[in-house]
Structure 1
Amino acid sequence: MIKILHKTIIMDIITVFPVIAVCLDFVLMMEKIIRLTRFMSGVGVSFADILRVVILIQPQLLILTLPMSFLIAVLITYGRMNMDSEIVVMKSAGISMWQISYPAFVSGLVVFLLTLMMTVYVSPLSARKLRLLVNETVRMRAPLALDAGVFHNEFKGITLMIGSKPSPHEMRDIFVYDERDKDRPKVITSKSGRIVFNRAGDPVFDIRNGSLDIINGNTFTELTFRRYVFRITLGLNMLTERLKEKTPLQLLQYAEKLRGKRRREVMVEFHRRFTLPFINIFLIFLGPPLSMLSGKRGRLSGFVFGIAVCGVYYAMLVYFENLVRTGKLYHMFAWAPVMIIGLFSVLLYWRESKR
């Protein structure tokens, strides 16, 4: 009988889990889809390229959506059982809290392993492929999509206008307004230029025979050059951070070479690779008792409780990570949100098991 009960509960969780995951993934994707659409129209990217980018983004999103989806699925499943008085009947029949929660433990361990695989292996691999895809897109399509006589702002912090294009990849009479440094904006004009790639594989603007005007408060500096090369990044820069391409071991090795703020940034990324999977372990203890506390309010209450818990967790995550980045806390405090949620979950589970 217990095995049948466990199988039924697991099937309920499995049924709800992918639906919640798809919905949350879509919500997180909306802002990126809008930016991708703008990028596609401005740089000449095909729909197939956009689809490939969307697929490569998924591992980074799943790291966030898998724990959220698991908690909400457990809350909805056990909330429905509580609403139908099934949990009361089980406890009256002598079934322990551990036996009632066992399906959530099994499901949570599977989600933990999936999330860990994403953070350790799949996400770094997809991040690297994503950067290569974006760079290839810039090399192949961006020069073709840059029309003469039009202001372009597809590149982050840069406004560009081209006077003429003798060939698809050659540009003449170039005007650039570079505001990436807000305190020292630059105005660049040159006779010719083209988009190329440096040794690291990053897109750069190689311009020839021009002038560079730097505005620094009340001072103005004018320079002339025969050749000037500067790095450019697309509006998709949020998808191509190099740290996300490194495995946890590579992050540790990289951190050993750094000091100060940059080292703290790397250590925050390292700890995040494990805190996000490990939160699933504590959500195992949180889901069943929290759904029982919600009373007979229906499935919607489980969804609301799940979103609330995830919101609190991610708010704490951002807060403590920012404190670590600024050097106010030691980097191990990146685990503080997990420990707080874990302590609360275990205490709540223990309290419910004693009832």
Structure 2
Amino acid sequence: MLTNDLTIHVLLFMAGFALLTGGAEFLVRGASRLAVRLNVSSIVVGLTVVAFGTSLPELLVSLIANLRGDGGSHIAIGNIVGSNIANLGLILGMAGLIAAIPVERHLVRREYPLLIGVSVVFIIMAWDGSINRLEGLLLVAGLIAFTYYSYTAVRELPGAEALDVVEAIDPDIGQPSTHVLWDLLLVAGGLGGLILGAQWLVDSAQVLARALGVSELVIGLTLVAVGTSLPELATSIVAMIRKEGDIAVGNVVGSNLFNMLFIGGASALVRPLPVPLSMRTADLPAMLGLTLLVYLLIRREPSRLLRWQGALIVAAYLAYTTWLFMANGSTMI
């Protein structure tokens, strides 16, 4: 009977990922077409509807997990920090293994230093064992400022180049809705799928953690984090196939900023977000360390992430993940 119950929760865990990914896709498709139909510019849609929509899986998982309290809160903070580590170590590293990635200088000079700064602020906020509502408000304010900055930066590009940036996020972004009712159904169905998928994922993650003898924090840092990062992985792979590797780097930088500012901030606003003190010795330093490692690798001109560097980043991620399980997450605070 125990084996059957565990099998059911494994299936629910995978189904939760499927619903999260599909729900986000449906919501973004429907909402972006409706927005364009209402004469909202493609640039605004790309930087708001699409950018926020692709972060909804991580947001709903962290929100629901944090509202559950106890071990659920550990899944929430683990998902945020673990997603950032996976984006850098696994997704960007694997993209670099496929082919050398050229990196735009503006990313090296502006957006990436911003990512480092936000990472340091986030760690300072988390260091005392909790991100409170005031700190959550400051993170969300930072998100609003970053979104405005991104919008201004794209607006300053030539028209064709600005459109290329937006279409790189979603090729169908500029298409207005031709079937309003269908697109409304997509939005509603997407939201429903996201909520149900997040609930299934959080419930089954807690059961799997107990079955594996590790803490909810470890599950959040690894399985949940990697699963909710699958959309970023897909985007990066497509970018590499299209020989637009710089988009892969920009995607990871933007996603990590959103994870801390949007997901961390919103989760803390709803309920102060507990941070296990054990994260100060490994997980938070690992997030900052990988962020700095990638920056050191790409900062010199010509800015490129070479294959051996991609292999180094993946190796660092695998070493961290192996240590995490070997250290036995069930003993963490």
TM-score (norm 1): 0.29
Larger RCO: 1 or 2 (CA < 8 Å, sep 6+): 2
Q: Which structure shows the higher strand fraction?
A: 1
Q: Which structure shows the higher helix fraction?
A: 2
- The higher radius of gyration belongs to 1
